[in-house]
Chains A and B, each alone.
With several copies, the nearest count.
Chain A
Amino acid sequence: MSVMKFGDAIQDAIAQSMGEDPRIILIGEDIHAYRMKLFIQFGEERLLATPISESSFLGAAVTASMAGLRPIVDLTLVDFIAVAMDPLMNHAAKLEVFSGGKWNAPLVVWAACGGGYGDGGQHEQSLWGWLAHIPGLTVAVPSNPADAGGLMTAAVEHDSPVIFLEHKMLADYWLEWMGGSWRETIHIDVPAEGTVGPVPKKWAAIPFGKAAIRKEGNDLTLFSVGVGVHQSMEAAAVLEKHDVSAGVVDLRSVSPLDVETICNTMAVTGNMIVVDEDYRGFGLSAEVAAVALEAGLKFNYRRVCTNGTIPYARRLEEQVLPNTNRILEAVVDLLDTNLPI
């Protein structure tokens, strides 16, 4: 075990995989600058810089993967998938069915997601639930360095398309870019447990669809991914002081969901709160509830999500994005108690 930063862990895992498998290539804008260490080790033959034309290089990655390469497409921000949704939705995701199960597209789309640094709603979306809606796509959202490397390892080994989302508030180099680290006056809320942590000596795949129970709890369960996991932990710690025992489940992959863990915990607590930085409606927060309902469970339910388009001002975005206070308010509402929090 050693200790690594979140962003380093991802690139370290990729370096390990690229060293072992010459079919892996990395494609993206400014890749020589954004992925400096990988570029030094593997050079421009394995890291392909692109024009700003996401739709074509993502489209190319799909068939490249079908023809034997293992492309990782670095999309920079997940918001940009809007200009390149077709290769993902109508091609990569559908290939396995269309080909009668005879062909697949082992590609990884790697993108940063999430808000909390005042960049506005075209650069701070999460979109994991939106992407998970499309059958045929796996969507992973790690919350700490060990999971980040392990899930990236799983992604590059996976035989069908995987979207790997790294939350900017966890990945050190994003903060660096955004000025969070060099403008000393800037305060951005970064969950320390997520940004640096222990990692294994050698990376091994963490299977998709396996949630991690970050904290056991009997009274209610908080389900989340990414930064939301840390906000949930913070809320759970506060609740603990008021004798409310809140469990925290880190789903780790949005698709597939770990239905078993969701149902098991719900059977115990009967109180579900989903903390989901993606938009509120028609997404992860509703789906977690739906799979538990389908299993015949009865429970109380609240959700803390991104409410609408994310505005620019830090002050305003804090009202729209999930945070610990909003989680605590939801708990109070759900339990119908008067916790003085």
Chain B
Amino acid sequence: MDYWELYQLMLHSRLFEECVKQLFNDGMISGEMHLGIGEEAIAAGVISQLSPGDALALDHRGTPQLLMWGIEPAALLKEFLGREDGLCNGQGGHMHLFSAEHLSASSGIVGASGPAGVGFALAAKRLRPGTISTAWFGEGATNEGTMMEAWNLAVVWQLPLLFICKDNDYSITTPSQTVRGGHLTEKARSFGLRTLSVNGADIEEVWLGAKEMIEHTRSGHGPVFLHARCRHFENHFIGMQSARMANNPLKEIIPLVPGITKALFRRGGVPFSERLRNVGATLGVAASSKSESQAKADDPILRTRFKLAAEDANRLTGLEDNIQAEIQRVLNEVLSSNNALEKIR
């Protein structure tokens, strides 16, 4: 395991996504933009151990993985901007990123990356022995039937397949604990998957766990399930209303007051005291999304940086400067050729 290399992968992704965030807020990117900020250690720990010919089945939050897997940052950025010279000619966008060359596919349909991973693994087993497939998803997706079917199918067909569950405890605004029966890794294990749970903010833990899991499945011992806990520092997608509420309560909540008032006093429904409690509960969503975004102690990059700074502060600064410059270069390249240079009309 090379901390420096992993830190480089993670920081590159982080700075790239920070830049995407800026462009989104500037109105140059459309749609619902889901960032992987906070998940970098999971992506880096796994992707750094993949080999050519391995495949990626991603969900709606796949930018870090694709960057680390070698997709040109400029191609991604252009795609997000909807440009003809983007990765998918501007036709896919950030939820539908595809690269045949990298055997990488994405989906905006929750749960779909499960079967997608199975299909890649089937092709791997038959056409490219020794290669594996990886299926990426959040913990919310594990309640989708097709995902659970995929676990079963992978076990039945004994496929070279690594399932990676990035568990941030939330699906959009819903705490996943409240909508799940049983225990997640136990459930996966009951399908016959070998499982391992790691702290997704700890690059070492992820890397070691991924190593074990990947070796297991690559050597033909069947599918494996890596569960990695993490936090999203940019909420479900950028600018989600509940996050804006938390950050700027006055601006965001005041427009809601007339509606809330009507809901409090309108005929029919539960007693007033309960309604007050409901106001708390529904606005509490905002608070919890804020608390998620403030748990910076769980930031995989800060944690790693701390370690490396102690090791060789100069080297660290040099590396960071390089990455920063590289991202800036990509941004300049992309924006300078942005024919329109216009906001989304």
Contact = CB atoms under 8 A, between A and B. Distances in A.
Interface stretch (A34-42, A133-141, A295-303): A34-42
Interface in B107-125: 107-112, 114-120, 122-124
A118 B150 contact: no
Contacts of B149: 51, 53, 55-57
23 contacts: A20-B268, A30-B171, A36-B256, A41-B278, A43-B269, A50-B156, A51-B180, A52-B143, A56-B115, A59-B118, A60-B118, A62-B119, A64-B122, A67-B124, A80-B109, A120-B93, A123-B31, A123-B108, A185-B344, A312-B90, A312-B92, A313-B83, A315-B82
A314 B82 contact: yes
A86 B112 contact: yes
B116 A33 contact: no
A83 B109 contact: yes
A93 to B, nearest CB: 13
Interface stretch (B38-46, B98-106, B314-322): B98-106
B124 to A, nearest CB: 7
Contacts of B123: 63-64, 66-69
Given A122-B107, A178-B32, 7 more contacts: A50-B153, A51-B180, A56-B152, A59-B116, A100-B92, A118-B344, A183-B24
B217 interface: no
Contacts, number: 312
Contacts of B30: 117-119, 178, 186, 312-314
Contacts of B145: 53, 55-56, 83
Interface residues of A, number: 84
Nearest to A25: B126
Interface stretch (B203-211, B279-287, B296-304): B279-287
B153 A52 contact: no
Interface residues of B, number: 92
A100 B76 CA distance: 13
B263 interface: yes
A32 B282 contact: yes
A117 B30 CA distance: 7
Q: Which 3 interchain pairs have the tightest Cβ spacing?
A: A19-B268, A59-B115, A118-B30
A337 interface: no
Interface in B282-334: 282, 285
A231 to B, nearest CB: 16
B270 A59 contact: no
Nearest to B173: A33
B51 interface: no
Contacts of B268: 15-16, 18-20, 41
Nearest to A90: B109
Interface string A70-95: 00000000011011001100110011
Contacts of B174: 29-30, 32-33, 49
A315 B141 CA distance: 32
Given A18-B269, A37-B263, A53 B119 contact: no
A155 interface: no
B153 A314 contact: no
Contact of A41 (B24, B91, B244, B270): B270
B343 interface: yes
Contacts of B26: 183, 185
A119 B237 CA distance: 13
Contact of B114 (A19, A44, A56): A56
Nearest to B80: A312
A45 B142 CA distance: 25
A52 B144 contact: yes
Interface string B67-89: 00000000000010011001111
B36 interface: no
A130 interface: no
Nearest to B285: A33
Given A120-B95, A316-B91, A45 B343 contact: no
Contact of A55 (B55, B115, B244, B275): B115
Contacts of A61: 119
A176 B92 CA distance: 23
